[in-house]
Structure 1
Amino acid sequence: MEPQNIRYGRTPHTEKLKWVNHMVKLMDNQFRIPGTNFRFGLDPILGFLPVAGDLASFGMSAMLVMTMARHGASGKLVTLMLLNIALDTVIGSIPVLGNIFDFFFKANERNVRLLTRHYEEGRYQGSGKGIIVGVLIGIVLLFILLIWVLWELAEWIYGQLAAIF
């Protein structure tokens, strides 16, 4: 599937949001498996780097959501976007299963589709500054959840290895 571009109509933020399309393509659809239409980006590749890769991917997704919130996404829309990146981050942190999941669940692309529908339905609200604090709190909570899940996973793996040796 080709990456979907955001169609903003005539808003003063069109130029500022072009980088969102670029980053979404880089994270979710930059590469194609030869002979197929299957596309993937840096997100699943970063998932192969334990902890650091998941944190980097989460950070980029969080920046994209903050940018979209700053440019008119509603509180409900931002909540849905945060749920997408939370799901991507939590399940993506699971070894092997998470890596496979990351190739198919493209949270950033899903968020762009949500934003596109938001603009096409005429719900564009302008600044969105009122929800930035909520987004920041949500991102911090998701980050804490990610660290906790990774900690629990590391303890479990350590326990399994200690039982073997």
Structure 2
Amino acid sequence: MRQDQFESLAAQLPVGRDAASVRKRVEAMEVLLERAFVVPGTNYRVGLDAMVGLVPVLGDIITTAMGAWILWEARNLGMPKWHLLRMGGNLGFDALVGAVPLVGDLFDLAFRSNTRNLKIVKRWLDKHHPETRVIEGEITGRP
């Protein structure tokens, strides 16, 4: 991600507690953790989860904490416990396997727990807060 893209994204992040603001923040965190950078010479995208996870123990603790923030935002939205448990399972599984040296680093490239959790949040938001739906980069309605 280029510096101007990052600054543009940061300027657009809302601070509110409404569902549309939470959606934008969670989407931005997922991009940062899972697909912020392109591997040179390929079209494969990686994020901080795979890169910082290369640092033994501390890297996995940091990226798990950042992923837990998505779970915290989902809890604050009032999502049901079943969804929160699924999201926590995704995050916990990623943290456990990611802690294994070398194997965990390769696993981080394939199992994107934050992307899975974002899909859960977006599906719930689309059902319970349809005004937050985004089509081609534009919010379709305001509360």
Using the size of structure 2 for normalisation, the TM-score is: 0.72
The answer for unaligned runs of 5 or more in structure 1 is 1-10, 125-165
Matches of residues 5-154 of structure 1 in structure 2 within 5 Å? Answer: 12-122=18-128
What does residue 141 of structure 2 align with? none
Letter in 2 for 1:111: N
Aligned residue pairs total 114
1:7-40: CA deviation from partner (whole Å, max 9, x where unpaired)? xxxx932124422111110110001124433211
Cα distance in 2 for residues equivalent to 1:43 and 1:27: 5
The answer for unaligned runs of 5 or more in structure 2 is 1-16, 131-143
1:123–1:76 distance in 2 versus 1, CA, 3 Å: farther
What does residue 7 of structure 1 align with? none
Q: Please say if residues 79 and 124 of structure 2, whose CA atoms lie closer than 8 Å, have aligned partners that are also in contact.
A: yes
Identity across matched positions, percent: 30
Letter in 2 for 1:97: V
Letter in 1 for 2:55: L
Q: Please say if residues 71 and 84 of structure 2, whose CA atoms lie closer than 8 Å, have aligned partners that are also in contact.
A: yes
1:48-81: CA deviation from partner (whole Å, max 9, x where unpaired)? 1111111101111111101111113211110000
Cα distance in 2 for residues equivalent to 1:94 and 1:48: 10
What does residue 132 of structure 1 align with? none
Letter in 2 for 1:23: M
Which contiguous aligned blocks of 4+ residues in structure 1 show a shift greater than 4 angstroms?
Answer: none
Using the size of structure 1 for normalisation, the TM-score is: 0.63
Relative contact order: is structure 1 or structure 2 higher (C-alpha 8 Å, sep ≥ 6)?
A: 1
SS in 1 for 2:21: coil
